[in-house]
């Protein structure tokens, strides 16, 4: 579809013999907010880094990642020259990371850091225009006294304020796609609410697509319309947020929702759990990646469950799905 700002087809990422990501399909359209949820080691951050073309050198991606920016400019990320990737990053695709301290340069005033991304991509005519626009952006992300804040160094700002600066940088060039990787995990809950609102408003105002990565189901449900559930380097289920969270089909999704719902308890007053723990990267079983923790697993699950769904936007891969009562 022409409206896709991101199209990932059959993405694999390997390090040596270990396969870290397997056959990931994913699309994000303009104006669409897509969540990517999973526990540690599920491959969600690796997916984000693959899209940005920021994988460490030892990791080899295969498959196709197409980013479509302003004016229909396509970038084929896998195998692209660093020059083309540099032109894409910070303009067509931008990213907000988890840790706002390490995402900013500690030796540079934050106003200059916001201006820099516009100067590099020449989206403003000159230095003065960039500086003025930087102050304007800092104002838009809700920093009090933006002209003063532009002259501050990152260490002079609180965690929430720093994350606002990172959001300002990410939105400076009106990207077609914003990737957020656990953007509020390091923040206090009252600050989180404000930063989430800020990100959603920024994306909506630009009609940009958003890929939002988190382990927090409640956050994804507050922010996104569609969601993909990852486990063991694979997408195991995808669909509209409301459908996936109220009528999960994959056994893992079902277990994850049960385990994270602290208001729901078993008859003995204890929480629902998933047995065992998340294997380390590359140590997931062959066939269904969840079968060694699944209470419904049979010998059938030693074979790879096929994707049951019309496309990457909606479906699941489970041999023994949760049967929805009509």
Partner 1 sequence: MTASSDRPAIRLQGVTREFRRQRTSLVTPAPVVHALRGVTLDIARGERFGIVGESGCGKSTLLRIIAGLDQPTAGVVEVEGTDISRLPERRLGFLREQLQLVFQDPMGSLDPRMKVRDIIAEPLVAQGKRDTLPRVLELLEAVGLQAEAADRYPHQFSGGQRQRISIARALAPDPHILVADEPVSALDVSVRAQVLNLIAALVDRLSLTLVFVSHDLSVVRHVCDRVAVMSHGEVVEVGPTDQIYDDPQHPYTRQLVAAAPRLRAALAGRTAADLAADTLAAKETS
Binding residues for partner 1, per CB under 8 A? 39-40, 159, 188-190, 192-194, 196-201, 215-219, 221-223, 241-242, 245-246, 255-263, 265, 269-274, 277-278, 280, 293
> What order of strands is seen across the sheet that includes strand 74-76?
18-29, 4-15, 60-68, 74-76
The H or E element spanning position 115 is: helix 110-120
- Residue 49 or 198: which CB sits closer to partner 1? 198
- Residue 22 or 253: which CB sits closer to partner 1? 253
- Residue 293 or 319: which CB sits closer to partner 1? 293
Shortest distance (Å) from residue 310 CB to partner 1: 23
Shortest distance (Å) from residue 104 CB to partner 1: 19
Instruction: Tell me the CA distances in angstroms from 44 to 149, 193, 196, 281, one per residue in order.
Output: 33, 22, 19, 12
- Residue 159 or 309: which CB sits closer to partner 1? 159
Strand, coil or helix: what is 179? strand
- Residue 150 or 166: which CB sits closer to partner 1? 166
Residues 261, 270, 43: CA angle, nearest 5 degrees: 45
- Residue 258 or 287: which CB sits closer to partner 1? 258
Shortest distance (Å) from residue 138 CB to partner 1: 18
Shortest distance (Å) from residue 297 CB to partner 1: 16
Shortest distance (Å) from residue 81 CB to partner 1: 37
Shortest distance (Å) from residue 256 CB to partner 1: 6
| Long-range contacts formed by 14-20: CB under 8 A, 24+ apart | 14/59, 14/60, 14/62, 15/58, 15/59, 15/60, 15/282, 16/58, 18/281, 18/282, 19/233, 19/282, 20/46, 20/59, 20/233, 20/281, 20/282
- Residue 39 or 84: which CB sits closer to partner 1? 39
Say if residues 244 and 314 touch (Cβ distance below 8 Å). Answer: no
* Assigned token pair, 287: 């066939």
Residue 46, CB half-sphere, CA atoms under 13 Å: how many? 31
Shortest distance (Å) from residue 268 CB to partner 1: 9
Tell me which residue of 201, 226, 195, 233 sits closest to 212, measured CA to CA.
Answer: 226
Shortest distance (Å) from residue 59 CB to partner 1: 22
With the CA atoms of 309, 315, 320 and 326 taken in that order, what torsion angle do they form, in degrees rounded to the nearest 10? Answer: -90
- Residue 262 or 323: which CB sits closer to partner 1? 262
């Amino acid at each position: 579809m022409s409206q896709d700002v991101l199209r990932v087809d059959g993405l694999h990422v390997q390090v040596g013999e270990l396969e870290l990501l397997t056959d990931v399909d994913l699309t994000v359209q303009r104006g669409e907010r897509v969540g990517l949820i999973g526990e540690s080691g599920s491959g969600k951050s690796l997916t984000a880094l693959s899209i940005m073309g920021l994988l460490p050198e030892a990791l080899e991606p295969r498959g196709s990642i197409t980013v479509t920016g302003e004016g229909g400019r396509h970038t084929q990320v896998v195998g692209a020259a660093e020059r083309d990737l540099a032109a894409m990053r910070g303009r067509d695709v931008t990213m907000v990371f988890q840790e706002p301290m390490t995402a900013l340069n500690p030796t540079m005033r934050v106003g200059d850091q916001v201006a820099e991304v516009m100067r590099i991509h020449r989206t403003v005519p000159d230095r003065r225009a960039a500086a003025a626009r930087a102050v304007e952006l800092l104002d838009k992300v809700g920093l009090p006294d933006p002209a003063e804040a532009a002259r501050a160094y990152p260490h002079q700002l609180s965690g929430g304020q720093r994350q606002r600066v990172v959001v300002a940088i990410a939105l400076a060039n009106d990207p077609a796609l914003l990737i957020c990787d656990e953007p509020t995990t390091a923040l206090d809950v009252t600050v989180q609410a404000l930063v989430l609102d800020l990100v959603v408003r920024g994306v909506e105002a630009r009609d940009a697509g958003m890929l939002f990565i988190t382990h927090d189901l409640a956050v994804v449900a507050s922010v996104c319309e569609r969601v993909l559930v990852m486990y063991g380097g694979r997408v195991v289920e995808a669909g509209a947020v409301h459908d996936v969270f109220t009528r999960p089909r994959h056994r893992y999704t079902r277990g994850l929702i049960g385990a994270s719902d602290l208001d729901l308890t078993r008859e003995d007053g204890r929480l629902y759990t998933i047995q065992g723990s998340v294997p380390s990267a590359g140590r997931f079983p062959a066939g269904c990646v969840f079968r060694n923790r699944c209470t419904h697993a049979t010998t059938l699950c030693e074979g790879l469950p096929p994707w049951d769904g019309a496309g990457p936007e909606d479906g699941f891969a489970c041999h023994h799905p949760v049967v929805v009562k009509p």
